[in-house]
């Protein structure tokens, strides 16, 4: 069984559909969607429908789903104008076309989305979140649990359950919104021998990543030209292993630069589909 990850389709259902066709996950595989299905693009509700129609999908909440819930379900302090400025109008238009029962059922489904997960693929643990983690806080918690990441040891000794426990103690705002603090510093979770958990996140469009990330597997010019999946943090201290992977291929930018990307964690295979004009 293979593990696929994608994120930040932002209403571009046709590009997501084509990316899934190319990746062609099997029924026994699992497709993780790391949030931000909604807003900005032309058919956010269509993206949700496509994702929910996948028998093998597991979905995490993104900051845009959180904004939607804050505004429409009065669960937070987010204001209507803030959501509108972040592309909420296209989502609201799609929701207005649903009947009352479908609307309520969809809101309940969105509200129940988890913030994180941990998976094993290709002999490595992967931490899946929408935006990133507080790596210093993560290392501190692991140290209190007997997994000392200092001195290049990394967190390979952390069990699946311990990593989940660590994530459950992170600030939800960090998991949904962090950028520079996460992409700008090594996590310290991958050791000097290259072992240890890698964090996979979206939220930060790859075309904007050069303004945040410390080490990328491409030049800033390449990253900013067209949306792509970017590995971050590979260096001698991690035996050349990237400790972070950005899978936000900038679909929110629309046609010309935006793409929807999918990665298979088991072997690192990548599929990126450009957003076409009008979709």
The dotted CATH code for 3-274 is 3.60.21.10
In this predicted structure, what is the pLDDT of residue 77?
Answer: 66
Q: Which two tokens stand for residue 80?
A: 């209507």
In this predicted structure, what is the pLDDT of residue 74?
Answer: 78
In this predicted structure, what is the pLDDT of residue 115?
Answer: 98
The secondary structure of 77-96 as a DSSP string is S--HHHHHHTTHHHHHHHHH
In this predicted structure, what is the pLDDT of residue 181?
Answer: 96
Q: Which two tokens stand for residue 45?
A: 């509700």
Strand spans (E) along 78-225 = 116-121, 124-129, 198-201
This prediction has a pTM of: 0.97
* Burial class of 99 by CB neighbour count within 10 A (0 to 12, 13 to 18, 19+): exposed
In this structure, are residues 227 and 262 in contact, taking their beta carbons and an 8 Å threshold? Answer: no
**What's the average pLDDT block by block, 10 residues per block, for the chain (279 residues)?**
97 98 97 98 98 96 96 76 90 95 97 98 98 98 97 97 98 97 97 98 98 94 95 97 98 96 98 94
Domain ranges of the chain: 3-274
In this predicted structure, what is the pLDDT of residue 69?
Answer: 94
* Contacts by residues 140-143 (CB-CB < 8 Å, ≥ 24 positions apart): 141/165, 141/166, 141/169, 142/166
């Amino acid at each position: 069984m293979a593990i696929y990850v994608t994120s930040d389709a932002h209403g571009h259902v046709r590009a997501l559909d084509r990316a899934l066709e190319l990746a062609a996950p099997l029924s026994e595989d699992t497709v993780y969607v790391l949030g931000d299905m909604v807003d900005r693009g032309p058919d956010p509700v269509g993206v949700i429908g496509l994702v929910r129609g996948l028998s093998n999908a597991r979905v995490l909440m993104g900051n845009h789903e959180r904004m939607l819930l804050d505004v429409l379900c009065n669960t937070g302090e987010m204001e209507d104008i803030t959501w509108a400025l972040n592309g909420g109008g296209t989502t609201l238009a799609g929701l207005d076309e649903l009947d009352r029962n479908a609307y309520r059922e969809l809101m309940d489904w969105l509200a129940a989305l988890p913030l994180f997960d941990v998976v094993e693929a290709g002999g490595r643990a992967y931490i899946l979140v929408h935006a990133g983690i507080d790596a210093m806080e993560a290392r501190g918690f692991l140290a209190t649990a007997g997994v000392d990441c200092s001195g290049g040891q990394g967190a390979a000794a952390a069990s699946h359950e311990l990593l989940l426990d660590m994530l459950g103690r992170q600030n939800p705002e960090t998991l949904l919104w962090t950028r520079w603090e996460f992409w700008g510093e090594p996590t310290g979770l991958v050791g000097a021998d290259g072992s240890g958990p890698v964090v996979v996140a979206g939220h930060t469009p790859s075309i904007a990543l050069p303004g945040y990330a410390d080490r990328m597997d491409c030049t800033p010019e390449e990253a900013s030209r067209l949306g792509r999946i970017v590995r971050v943090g590979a260096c001698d201290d991690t035996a050349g292993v990237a400790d972070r992977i950005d899978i936000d291929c900038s679909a929110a930018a629309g046609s010309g630069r935006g793409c929807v990307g999918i990665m298979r964690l088991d072997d690192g295979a990548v599929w990126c589909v450009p957003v076409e004009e009008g979709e």
